[in-house]
């Protein structure tokens, strides 16, 4: 009966939250867990098969790709598609999908899980499969050092019977190989893809002996074909991509001699596609159904999302750590056309209050003649501008406009193809503005901050 009360309380709280304008994405889970402290255990009652997806980058996209393919195959799916990935957000997903009375049993639950929340999620409900995408440096205030985070995750898996699907190309992820449980690996073949390159990378040291890893081939960051004299080396993948390329229609991928296509943009999404293919094949989904699911998948808001404004292309992408920033910039710099960059930086709880990660972005790669304007926006616009300045970008190219709407208006007046890097709490407002809420022209006055142009409304 407590479970039923928790569901009712969560549903009521969610309705009230939406009515007063708070959205209500996690409130149902918060209230349900107050009534039932281990509410997540009920996920097992809601799904025959449970898949968790965790890692630094790619969780939300991988989750939604898998859910789409499984639905295309005719399975009923429960998923936290919006990316609410802590235990409260996952609990809210259960509440929203639960009927007022009884139990609604789905074929599969596809659940994105925050890395730091994984131990708690495992303690309440063990999945059948766990996908680990990759590990890159993230906000230290939320996760701490990568080594500590990974060890906590491995420890939480010690007594489980979860089947792991791991990224063979990431030596950080390969540390999970020590677990005495079943594992499958995905990976990219050498020369499968010419990923955009950038200078800054992650640690490339062996976790066993701490000597520097030897790389036969590097895809990006620390991902590639690696080995160490002590015997630690990249495992042979069970699911491999032999060829990956991108054109204006999206990503094309040859995996185990089978061709797949998706409308996703950004070559790094090839890993997300490969994870989706691997788990769906493991669950018995046929290749032609996987192809249909990939082709009909709709891009998520803020994931290399493209808008056309005044006949000019604008691209919006979520950036929350150095790896995401570097990959976004590398994609942005693939063409030599004249363009501009907007960096929208907030430091609210959802963004991560520690913004020191922006100094690990290879902003220097954007310091090119074809990038005509750099606009720093958001609550921490001055910090974003300072990072730009110290990357060598001429100060006359940098404009600080903290207000997101005014930043979009300024960029629109420039009339150039625009790339926007946005942290979590900037993403939705920017998306709304790009969908047409640009407003009227404003009049500005200028003054200066550390040699950088700062504009406010006059």
Catalytic residues: 354
Positive or negative torsion for Cα 255, 258, 259, 260: negative
Distances (CA, A) of 337 to 52, 250, 369, 412: 41, 20, 10, 17
**CA of 286: how far to CAs of 79, 187, 280, 293, in Å?**
21, 20, 8, 11
Could you give the 3-state DSSP secondary structure of residue 400? strand
Closest CA to 256 of 235, 233, 277, 283: 277
Alpha helical stretches, state H, 286-337: 287-296, 322-332
Contact 395, 371 (CB under 8 A): no
Structure tokens at 118: 């994984």
DSSP strand pairing (305-309 vs 312-318) = antiparallel
Name every residue whose Cβ is closer than 8 Å to that of residue 337 and which is 6 or more positions away in sequence: 370, 417
H or E element in which residue 251 lies: strand 250-255
Q: Name the helix (H) or strand (E) containing 178.
A: none
Residue 213 CA from chain centroid, whole number: 26
Q: Where are the beta strands (DSSP E) in 20-102?
A: 47-54, 77-79
The residue among 108, 52, 126 whose CA lies nearest residue 283 is 108
Answer yes or no: are the C-beta atoms of 29 and 90 closer than 8 Å: yes
CA dihedral 189, 242, 56, 340 (to 10 degrees): 110
| Dihedral over Cα of 365, 247, 281, 186: its sign | negative
What ranges in 283-423 are assigned the alpha helix state H?
287-296, 322-332, 381-390, 404-414
């Amino acid at each position: 009966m407590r479970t039923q009360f928790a569901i009712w309380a969560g549903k009521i709280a969610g309705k009230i939250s939406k009515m007063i304008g708070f959205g209500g994405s996690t409130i149902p889970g918060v209230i349900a867990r107050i009534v039932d402290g281990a509410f997540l255990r009920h996920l097992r009652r809601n799904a025959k098969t449970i898949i968790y997806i965790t890692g630094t980058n790619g969780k939300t996209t991988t989750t939604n790709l898998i859910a789409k393919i499984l639905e295309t195959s005719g399975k009923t799916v429960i998923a936290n598609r919006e990316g609410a990935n802590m235990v409260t957000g996952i609990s809210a997903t259960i509440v929203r999908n639960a009927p007022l009375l009884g139990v609604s049993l789905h074929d599969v639950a596809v659940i994105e899980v925050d890395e730091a929340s994984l131990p708690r999620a495992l303690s309440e409900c063990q999945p059948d499969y766990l996908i680990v995408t990759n590990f890159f440096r993230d906000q230290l205030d939320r996760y701490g050092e990568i080594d500590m985070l990974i060890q906590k995750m491995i420890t939480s898996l010690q007594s489980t019977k979860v089947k792991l699907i791991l990224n063979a190309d990431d030596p950080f992820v390969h540390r999970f190989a020590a677990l005495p449980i079943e594992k499958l690996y995905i990976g990219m073949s050498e020369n499968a893809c010419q990923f955009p390159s950038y200078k800054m990378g992650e640690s490339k040291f062996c976790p066993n002996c701490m000597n520097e890893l030897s790389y036969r081939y590097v895809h990006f960051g620390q991902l590639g074909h690696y080995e160490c004299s002590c015997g630690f080396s990249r495992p042979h993948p069970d699911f491999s991509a032999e060829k990956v390329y991108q054109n204006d229609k999206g990503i094309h991928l040859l995996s185990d001699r089978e061709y797949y296509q998706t409308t996703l943009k950004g070559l790094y999404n090839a890993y997300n596609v490969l994870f989706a293919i691997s788990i769906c094949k493991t669950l018995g989904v046929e290749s032609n159904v996987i192809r249909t699911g990939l082709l009909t998948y709709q891009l998520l808001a803020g994931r290399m999302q493209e808008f056309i404004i005044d006949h000019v292309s604008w691209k919006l992408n979520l950036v929350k750590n150095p790896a995401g920033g570097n990959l976004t910039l590398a994609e942005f710099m693939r063409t030599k056309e004249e363009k501009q960059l907007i960096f929208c930086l907030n430091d609210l709880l959802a963004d991560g209050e520690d913004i020191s990660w922006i100094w690990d972005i290879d902003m220097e790669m954007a310091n090119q003649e074809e990038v005509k304007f750099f606009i720093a926006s958001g609550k921490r616009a001055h910090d974003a501008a300072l990072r730009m300045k110290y990357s060598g970008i001429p100060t006359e190219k940098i404009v600080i406009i903290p207000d997101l709407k005014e930043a979009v208006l300024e960029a629109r007046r420039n009339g150039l193809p625009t790339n926007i890097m946005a942290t979590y709490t900037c993403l939705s407002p920017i998306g709304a503005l790009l969908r047409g809420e640009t407003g009227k022209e404003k009049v500005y006055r200028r003054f200066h901050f550390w040699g950088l142009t700062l504009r406010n409304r006059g």
